Amino acid sequence: MCVDFAWKEWEQAGSKWALRNIKLRIPRKLIFVAGLLTVFSCFRNPDLAPQGTDHQAYLRLIHTHLARYVSLTPLEIVSHELSKLSLKEDAGQLLDVYDEFLQRLDDLKVRASLDELPPRRVYDDEIFLAVRDLSHGFQDILAEVFFEKKTALRDFNKSYGVF
């Protein structure tokens, strides 16, 4: 995602920077989180414990599980996994922020403003700053869920998600 951002930055010579930046902060981050949660769904999952010594059967079980996950939308994956961890409130907060983000980008005035805003003016622009504040809220919720709340997700992330 970052490589794509950098390529477009070079290719478009800075145009549409604000809109691409905002998309990296919320929807692209959501896609990344959904991928990480898909991997996490296998962590200490009793439904995926090997049964006997049939390695091929175990691989089919994992394949079926992961195929089901990747057929879901990122929002479905995040909602499902956080709900399993008794983090429904956090999932709801993430969905609320994402919904507000979508509502703002559906506003033609907001979208056009972000589309035309040059990088040197973003930190003086109320529209950009308001949407950026949404992304900070999104990030804060994710940081709390992945690093602070005492859940298997925090354990997984400490062991496998960072290093």
Please write the tens of the pLDDT for every residue from 31-70: 999 999 999 999 989 889 888 888 898 999 999 999 999 9
Q: Are 85 and 151 in contact (CB under 8 A)?
A: yes
Exposure b/e, 4-27, CB count within 10 A at least 16 = b: eeeeebeeeeebbbbbbbbbbbbb
Q: Return the pLDDT at 29.
A: 92
Domain boundaries, the chain: 16-161
What's the pTM? 0.84
Q: Return the pLDDT at 101.
A: 96
Decide if pLDDT at 4 tops 60. Answer: no
Decide if pLDDT at 112 tops 50. Answer: yes
Q: Return the pLDDT at 125.
A: 96
Each residue of 55-109: pLDDT tens digit? 898 999 999 999 999 999 999 999 999 999 999 999 999 999 999 999 999 999 9
Distance between CA atoms of residues 94 and 134, nearest Å: 10
Exposure b/e, 92-114, CB count within 10 A at least 16 = b: ebbeebbebbeebbeeeebeebb
Distance between CA atoms of residues 39 and 76, nearest Å: 15
| 3-class DSSP state of 10 | helix
Q: Return the pLDDT at 10.
A: 47
Decide if pLDDT at 8 tops 80. Answer: no
Q: Return the pLDDT at 161.
A: 81
Per-residue pLDDT band for 14 (boundaries 50, 70, 90) equals: low
Name the residue with higher pLDDT: 12 or 80.
80
Each residue of 132-163: pLDDT tens digit? 999 999 999 999 999 999 999 999 998 888 76
91 Cβ neighbours under 8 A, 6+ residues apart: 78, 79, 82, 83
Average pLDDT over residues 24-35: 92
